[in-house]
Chains A and B, each alone.
Chain A
């Protein structure tokens, strides 16, 4: 049992009390791409209305982990998992789980903005339309609400029917946020959402993340430690597929319990 030795999270992290109001829980979760093990017995909880950051060097498995949370890894061939990820009291890898329902509740923002080549409006209502909502009033309302939440409304309110690809990179990424919000998710997964953006657009997204946690729970993957320190309440440090340390951000950055974490944070490697 490899994951037996690898369960480090709860002992080192914020402990059982931190998991008290967790909306998602990973329990001894491992994942293989073919024969290569990418995640080794990861164990942590995502707390409600908080921002949880996952950091670590390239290839440590942080993107794999966040994609596991809403089962986007299903898209890739030869993926095998062990352990569970609990969401709303159910194992998302359990039998009979409707992946599309899961993904509606656990939305995702990708590394590069990926708006569909449709109008801004159609992008935002896409999630609603695939769930059979076609009532114009409901859609209009959802568009305004989500674009406002994504802090994009003021910039696009008079050109909702123009192509989404006419927006700037930063605007496109906020549109993707709005698109994810329109379906009414509980958790928002962000996979390095600012890696393709300039510093100003990045600041806007970070600001947005800070405001979003009032209504949503956010998990963010980042390779930028300052970003993790700025926006998150909890931080997990992954290395070679293991969750080395997990705890409140301040503690992880100022008083890391693991020597490896300290070395990474101070820039000795990675």
Chain B
């Protein structure tokens, strides 16, 4: 009797748990659907009114003129140019650095180098923006003798640096996973190490590297704060098109600047959501392409094809490189003869390097270039960190950390901003953790494939790619306006939770999957139910992995500005928030405003940036410790 009743209760529990887990897995897909729905709903007037074509291809953006003009072309061009410029130097630098880290770094250094790349990824975008605004634009203005450094070039340099970590880490993964057998085969045939890298390793890793580049592009396209702070934000198409010193305005920058001032329900409001839809679609396409490449990596055959086709292909790809090179020279020629000439010389040298030199020399030069790339990346990191520390440290006093701001942030402290950020992050994690782990458990342990699961996976992947400013817009339209939460702590926490959810799901799923199957079988063979097995055997060893995901999510949530700008953050507050429905101050938003809108507050901006940087990097350091601590202890 007793046994039968327990059996019944168990079955009910099993059923309820599975349903609950399934619901949390479905949540991401529903969230993405909701985001799309709301973006479209709010943008409908602009698509129905002036029409899609006039909106996308309209040549002027002047929403406050009379008549107001809503042509997105200059903004699309701005985004495209800034991204293109960023890629021009981020791709070679990133791939070369990845080769260096994976294949050439001295013994035992690899973890350290990877840590550098992770730190570069962890620096909040508003800190990049602050650095760009104060140092980079000034350097461009002085060294090129132009009236202002806030330009396409500044945006590209900054975005390039920001997309480097993505390009490096994904490429490095692809390069490291090239089969050792292939490298050995090449070496045993008398190829040098460089020839092996050039002819076997890089071609094998080609689709992974391409995916890395595309993901880096996605990151660059979706970035808001840093771009907004350095590109000058004039909605013009550079003239001539190669004028890198021209100010530009990106889609994200427009959203960041205008969303705060727009009248709710106006055509301008609708046009901004139209831009968000445009951005969403662009990023969706880019990220889907990257995912496709990564998933089809195992096919990995290079230069394989049938007879003429493969020969034609290799012929074409060779000439494509040549044509691309010529195009770059021609473009450069339009802006400066000297630049074009030096590029030509560089290409000629490269050609000689690859074909004519003795291969031992080629190897030396190539390795030198890889090492130099890495040094350059490390220098960029060092300069930014040093800059924030050296300017921020003088501002750090006990009063600064424990006081309220005064005189528009020029005086006083940042306590409410610190507390606000802590509240936002804590709330976001409290919401995202159960949902994320539940979804991960469902995907790893319960799902049996099928259409619903692929929809869920697509939802998670897409949620991961949504630019942070789009989360901000969605949070504003849905939480603040539609659900009438107002600009509040709760709205900010929910928006951030949505943003960090994919990170938590992915890392948790990885952790759960890495628990050996023999554990599960052992537990099931002793008569445990599925949920008992998951709860008692699978989850405990996954805790470090899940914790890593949680802390990565916390770091991201703490550093992001765009999602909270319209949903939760305000510039100043007299008292600490006492309810979930009050607005809060937040560190990144505070830094942004001090840097851009309050003259004479530079010292405090650096101080706040230092606090934010230490907070975020401290979290990343903590995950590194967790990984190191637990990887030593597990022994299966």
Contacts and interface: CB of A to CB of B under 8 A. Distances in A.
Contacts of B191: 100, 126-127, 130
A104 interface: yes
Interface stretch (A14-22, A157-165, A254-262): A157-165
Interface stretch (A45-53, A114-122, A199-207): A114-122
Nearest to A179: B189
Contacts of A112: 181
A102 B359 CA distance: 15
A72 B107 contact: no
Interface string A105-141: 1011010101111110010001101111000000000
A119 B179 CA distance: 17
B307 interface: yes
Contact of A72 (B184, B203, B304, B307): B184
A110 to B, nearest CB: 6
A131 B192 CA distance: 9
A75 interface: yes
Contacts of A163: 301, 304-305
Nearest to A105: B190
B186 interface: yes
Contacts of A127: 189-191
Given A100-B192, A130-B189, A130-B195, A161 B310 contact: yes
Contacts of B303: 118-119, 122
Nearest to A131: B190
Report the contact-size class of chain B (Cβ under 8 Å from the partner): 20 to 34
Nearest to B185: A114
A180 interface: yes
Kindly name the residue among A100, A108, A180 whose own CB sees the greatest number of chain B CB atoms within 10 A.
Answer: A100
A198 interface: no
Interface string B235-279: 000000000000000000000000000000000000000000000
Contacts of A179: 185, 189
A100 B191 CA distance: 6
Contact of A118 (B184, B188, B192, B304): B304
Contacts of B186: 116, 126, 130
A101 interface: yes
Contacts, number: 97
A8 interface: no
Nearest to A134: B355
B566 to A, nearest CB: 50
Kindly name the residue among B179, B187, B305, B311 whose own CB sees the greatest number of chain A CB atoms within 10 A.
Answer: B187
Contacts of B305: 119, 161, 163
B627 interface: no
A189 B412 CA distance: 76
A265 interface: no
Given A72-B184, A77-B107, A130-B195, A180 B189 contact: yes
A75 B189 CA distance: 14
A132 B359 contact: yes
A117 B300 contact: yes
22 contacts: A70-B188, A75-B183, A75-B184, A98-B360, A100-B190, A100-B192, A101-B190, A103-B189, A103-B190, A110-B181, A110-B188, A114-B181, A114-B185, A115-B185, A117-B182, A118-B304, A119-B310, A161-B311, A162-B307, A163-B304, A164-B304, A165-B304
Interchain residue pairs A-B with the least CB separation, the first 5 = A104-B190, A163-B304, A114-B181, A127-B189, A108-B188
Interface of A: 70, 72, 75, 77, 98, 100-105, 107-108, 110, 112, 114-119, 122, 126-127, 129-132, 161-165, 176, 179-180, 183
